[in-house]
Amino acid sequence: MDYEQCDAPPADNAVQRGAVAKKTHLTQIEVIPCKICGDKSSGVHYGVITCEGCKGFFRRSQLPTVSYSCSRQSNCTIDRSSRNRCQHCRLQKCLAQGMSRDAVKFGRMSKRQRDSLIAEVERHRQQQQQQQQLQVDAQSGLAYHTKEREDCSPQLLQPMTSAYCSGESELLSFTSDVHPYLLCTPNQPQVSDMIYRSSGVSPSSRAHMRGDTSGHSEIRDELCDSIVRSNKDTCQYRAEELQALKWKVFSREEMQAYQSKSVDEMWQHCAVRLTDAVQYVVEFAKHIPGFRLLSQNDQIALLKTGSMEVVLVRMSRFFNAENNTVFFDGKFAGTEVFKSLACGDLIAAVFDFAHSVCALKLTDQQVALFSALVLINADRPCLEDRGKVLCVQRSVELGLTHILHRDNRDSLMHKLYQRKSVLRSLCSLHTEKLRWFSQRYPLTAHCLFPPLYKELFASEAELMLLPGATH
């Protein structure tokens, strides 16, 4: 399903110009790295932007005589240098990124896929331009505050790797997206008093000019749609993929392999997996209406204190309540797989929480709005402008209330707030376990954990006590 295979442009001049413009975008796909290995891409192949190598590999993998297996634990890293070492894990990553088996057979790109691709290329190009402008501003002394925050939190502000980012170059940017994010003045915390940033006209004024009162509901609906769309776009795995793997569990031998890992080895392994999940949460946060309008300090503060909680909420999608297992390293695992972490109480509590969220039978829309509400919390410490955060929080609360009321599930709100308090306890327990681990294995905690994991979950005081830290 290469970009050359798009339908031919119609004869009509206006339509033809549009089609040619689309094709021009498609020929610029190379600006986005291969979603499988990070190498230079050559176009859209079987539904995903990939290089020629991964395109050919996926095509060959669909032959009826081909069967791959992993000699490790089905968790091999796939990048430009390692992509040929494990065919099984490479194929799993191709499928996880969305490469289509049917496309190998039928080989055409749908209009929806084409439009989505064009939008992604355009976002990537705009982001590159924004990054260049930020660099120019920094050189001229106009970005002093941004640079100061980057010095304080370099890992949180670093761009995501191509494996986790759909062409985005900056995690936290103050420039607006195509979506007109909502702007709230300090003394106007309700959605009804918000105004569109792009136009400066309030919903009530818009409604008055039209002679109706639909403006408020339109903005509320647009806010909900934006959050739901962002949640869907930043999920690590699609629901149908997880459903297909629902009963794929670890064998006894595979389970023993995890249990035989040393404490520090298993902690490091899980820290990497957790950091992967956090990357997606950061992408999700960027597209919550109003989030980018907060100060950079407050964006970072919310992510540092709330990203783990959102990961735990999202875990409910990866949880199979029928056999009490969670999706981990390509299969569903029970609590016994995590035995070598030496923190059974934390693992049991996390599984219990996932089970309790599953019991609520939340829809994807409800999970999306609840995740946004968990992240945008004006009670978090170290906020500069708590009023502005509260403004965004209230808009999300109203959105969630509307969704629940529409679904005739108003009583869920109280239960969701109960889950929020449990999340706080779980994150405190995680911090306590991390402190214990850091004291026992300081070298692993300081040198081998992913930098983003350390920045998010280890306090500055603890990091200063680790070997090699500078004061």
Which residue shows structure tokens 């990357």?
Answer: 279
Q: Which domain, by its residues, includes 252?
A: 182-465
CB 94 within 8 A of CB 71: no
Which of 120, 142, 166 is the last residue in one of the domains?
A: 120
Q: Does residue 436 lie in a domain region?
A: yes
Which of 90, 105, 120 is the last residue in one of the domains?
A: 120
Q: Does residue 442 lie in a domain region?
A: yes
Which of 120, 137, 161 is the last residue in one of the domains?
A: 120
Same domain, 292 and 396: yes
* Dist CA 20 CA 26 (whole Å): 10
Same domain, 196 and 340: yes
* Dist CA 427 CA 413 (whole Å): 21
Same domain, 386 and 255: yes
Q: Does residue 144 lie in a domain region?
A: no
* Dist CA 166 CA 176 (whole Å): 17
Q: Three-state SS for 84?
A: coil
Give the model's pLDDT for residue 349. 95
374-417: per-residue pLDDT in tens?
999 999 988 999 999 999 999 999 999 999 999 999 999 999 99
Same domain, 98 and 231: no
Q: What is the CATH number of the domain that holds 221?
A: 1.10.565.10
* Dist CA 36 CA 51 (whole Å): 8
Give the model's pLDDT for residue 214. 54
Q: Does residue 143 lie in a domain region?
A: no
Helix (H) or strand (E) run with residue 454 in it: helix 451-457
Q: Does residue 126 lie in a domain region?
A: no
Same domain, 196 and 84: no
Residue 323, number of CB atoms within 10 A of its CB: 10
Q: Three-state SS for 48?
A: strand
Tokens of residue 221, six digits: 């609906």
Q: What is the pTM of this model?
A: 0.58
Same domain, 219 and 92: no
Question: What pLDDT tens digit does each residue of the chain (471 aa) get?
Answer: 343 333 334 444 544 554 544 444 444 566 788 889 888 888 888 888 889 899 999 988 888 788 888 888 888 889 888 888 899 999 999 988 888 876 664 444 555 656 666 666 666 666 666 656 555 554 444 343 444 444 445 455 444 443 333 333 333 333 333 233 333 433 333 323 322 333 333 444 444 434 444 556 888 889 999 999 999 999 888 888 888 888 889 999 999 999 999 999 999 999 999 999 999 999 999 999 999 999 999 999 999 999 999 999 999 889 999 999 999 988 999 999 999 999 999 999 999 999 999 999 999 999 999 999 999 999 998 899 999 999 999 999 999 999 999 999 999 999 999 999 999 999 999 999 999 998 898 888 888 888 888 888 875 435 444 444 443
Same domain, 282 and 373: yes
CB within 8 Å of 403: residues ≥ 6 apart: 224, 365, 366, 369
CB 456 within 8 A of CB 156: yes
User: What's the number of domains the chain is made of?
Assistant: 2
CB 45 within 8 A of CB 2: yes
Same domain, 192 and 55: no
Tokens of residue 88, six digits: 């099984």
CB 223 within 8 A of CB 191: yes
Same domain, 359 and 267: yes
Q: Strands 195-196 and 182-183, how do they pair?
A: antiparallel
Q: Does residue 165 lie in a domain region?
A: no
The DSSP-derived string for 86-129 is -HHHHHHHHHHHT--HHHHHH----HHHHHHHHHHHHHHHHHHH
Give the model's pLDDT for residue 96. 86
